[in-house]
Structure 1
Amino acid sequence: MSTTKLKVIGGRIGIANAFARMPFRFGVVTMEAAASATLELEVFVDGKPVLGYASDLLAYKWFDKRPEKTPADNVADLLWVVEEALAVARNLPEGSLFTLWRQLDEEVDRRAVAAGFNRLGASFGVSMVERATIDALGRATGQSFFDMVRGNAFGIDGGAVFPELAGMSPASILAEKPLERIGLRHTVGLVDPIEAGDIASADRLDDGLPETLADYIEQDDLSYLKIKIAGDPTSDMARLERIAGLMDRIGRAFALTLDGNEQYSRLEEFAALMDAIRGNPALDRFYDAILFIEQPLERSVALSAPLDPRALKTIGKPLLIDEADGWTSAYHEATALGYHGVSHKNCKGVIRSLLNAMLAETRNRQTGPGVYFQSAEDLTCLPVVSLQADLAVVAALGITHVERNGHHYFHGLEHLPAREAEAALAAHPDLYRREGSSIVTAINGGALDIASLQVPGMGFACLPDLGQRTRAADWTFDSLNKSDAGHAGTGD
Structure 2
Amino acid sequence: MISLRAVKLHRTHLRLRMPFRYGIATLTELPHVILAFTFEIDGRVATGVAADHLPPKWFTKDPVRAPKDEIEDMLEVIRAAVDHAFGVKAATVFEFWRELYAAQAVWAAEEKIAPLLAQFGTSLVERGLIDAFGRMHGAGFAAGLRANIFGVDLGTLWPELVGSAPRDWLPAVPAEAITVRHTVGLGDPLVDGDIPPEERLNDRLPQALDACARVYGLRHFKLKINGEEPRDFERLARMAKIFAKECAGTDWRFSLDGNESFREVGAFADYARRLMAAPELKTLWPRLLFIEQPWHREVALSDAIGELARAWPDRPPIIIDESDAETGSLPAALALGYAGTSHKNCKGIFKGVANACRLAQRRAAGEPGMLSGEDLANVGPVAVLQDLAVQAALGVESVERNGHHYFAGLAAWPTAVQDHVLKHHGDVYCRAVVAPHWPRMDVRMGEVRIGSLTRTPGLGAVPPPLDGLAAEEL
Whether the 8 Å CA contact 1:267–1:311 is kept in 2: the answer is: no
Structure 2: stretches of 5+ with no match in the other structure: none
Aligned residue for 2:268? 270
Aligned to 1:461: 462
Q: Does the CA contact (< 8 Å) of 1:389 and 1:458 recur in 2?
A: yes
1:36 and 2:17 aligned? no
Distance in 2 separating the partners of 1:442 and 1:183 = 12
Amino acid at match of 1:10: A
1:258 aligned onto 2:259: no
Letter in 2 for 1:445: M
Match of 2:373 in 1: 376
Partner of 1:319: 318
Matched residue, 2:241: 245
Matches within 5 A, 1:412-451: 412-435=409-432, 436=434, 437-451=437-451
Could you say which residue in structure 1 is the equivalent of 2:329? 330
Cα 1:312/1:417, change in 2 over 3 Å:
farther
1:303 to 301, 304, 309: 301
| Paired residue type of 2:461 | F
- Cα distance in 2, alignment partners of residues 109 and 468 from structure 1: 35
* Structure 2 counterpart SS, 1:361: helix
- Residue of structure 2 in register with 1:486 after alignment: none
Asked whether the 8 Å contact 1:360–1:374 carries over to 2, the reply is yes
Structure 1 residue runs of 5 or longer lacking an equivalent are: 475-492
What residue number does 1:294 align with?
292
For 2:180 and 2:212, locate their aligned partners in 1 and report how far apart those are by CA, in whole Å: 11
Q: Which amino acid aligns with 1:271?
A: A
What is the RMSD computed on CA atoms of the aligned residues?
1.5
Among 120, 125, 130, which residue is 2:121 paired with? Answer: 125
Compared CA separation, residues 62 and 45, structure 1 to 2 (3 A)? same
Q: Distance in 2 between matches of 1:219 and 1:335?
A: 39
- For residue 367 of structure 1, give the secondary structure of its aligned residue in structure 2: coil
Quote how far apart the aligned CAs of 1:311 are: 5.8
SS in structure 1 of the partner of residue 230 of structure 2: helix
Equivalent residue number for residue 392 of structure 1: 389
Equivalent residues of 1:277, 1:287 under 8 A apart: no
Letter in 1 for 2:95: T
Tell me how far 1:472 sits from its aligned partner: 5.4
Residue type at the aligned position of 2:126:
E
Contact 1:332/1:359 (<8 A) preserved: no
The CA distance in 2 between the partners of 1:457 and 1:312, in whole Å, is: 44
Corresponding residue for residue 351 of structure 2: 352
The one-letter amino acid of 1:140's match is M
Q: Map 1:186-201 to 2 at 5 A.
A: 186-201=182-197
Distance 2:166 2:470 in 1: 38
The structural deviation recorded for 1:161 is: 2.4
Conserved 8 A contact 1:303-1:333: yes
Distance 1:313 1:160 in 2: 32
Q: Which amino acid aligns with 1:146?
A: A
Q: What amino acid is the match of 2:430?
A: R
* TM-score, structure 1 normalization: 0.92
AA aligned to 1:186 is H
Residue 363 of structure 2 is aligned to residue 364 of structure 1: yes
Aligned counterparts of 2:142 and 2:337: Cα–Cα separation in 1: 31
SS at match of 1:168: coil
Please say which of residues 159-168 and 145-154 is displaced more in the overlay.
159-168
The farther-off stretch of 246-255 and 206-215 is 246-255
Cα offset, 1:89, TM superposition: 0.7
Deviations 1:138-170 (A, max 9, x none): 111111001110111111111122221110111
Distance 2:203 2:81 in 1: 40
CA distance in 1, matches of 2:263, 2:451: 42
DSSP-derived class of the 2:122 partner: helix
For 1:273 and 1:139, locate their aligned partners in 2 and report how far apart those are by CA, in whole Å: 49
What SS class does the counterpart of residue 271 from structure 1 fall into?
Answer: helix
- Report the Cα distance in structure 2 between the residues aligned to 1:405 and 1:6, rounded to whole angstroms: 36
Aligned residues of 1:420 and 1:462 also touching (Cα < 8 A):
no
1:78-93 pair list within 5 angstroms:
78-93=74-89
Structure-2 separation of matches of 1:242 and 1:398: 32
SS for the counterpart of 1:182 is strand
Is the 1:380–1:405 Cα contact (8 Å) retained in structure 2?
yes
Query: Does the 8 Å CA contact 1:223/1:446 hold for their aligned counterparts?
Result: yes
CA shift for structure 1 position 88: 0.6
Within 1, Cα distance between the matches of 2:205 and 2:319? 32
Percent identical among aligned pairs is 36
The answer to whether the Cα contact below 8 Å between 2:8 and 2:473 also exists between their aligned partners in 1 is: no
Q: Deviations over 1:165-222 (max 9, x none)?
A: 1101111122221110100000000000000110133431120110000000000010
Q: Secondary structure at the match of 1:39?
A: strand
For residue 94 of structure 1, report the CA deviation from its aligned partner.
3.4
What is the distance in 2 between the residues matched to 1:46 and 1:175? 30
Contact (CA 8 Å) 2:342, 2:373: kept in 1 or not? yes
8 Å CA contact 2:7, 2:473 repeated in 1:
no
State how far apart, in whole Å, the 1-side matches of 2:464 and 2:57 are: 29
SS at the partner of 1:468? Answer: coil
Q: Which amino acid aligns with 1:446?
A: G
Q: Give the corresponding residue for 1:226.
A: 222
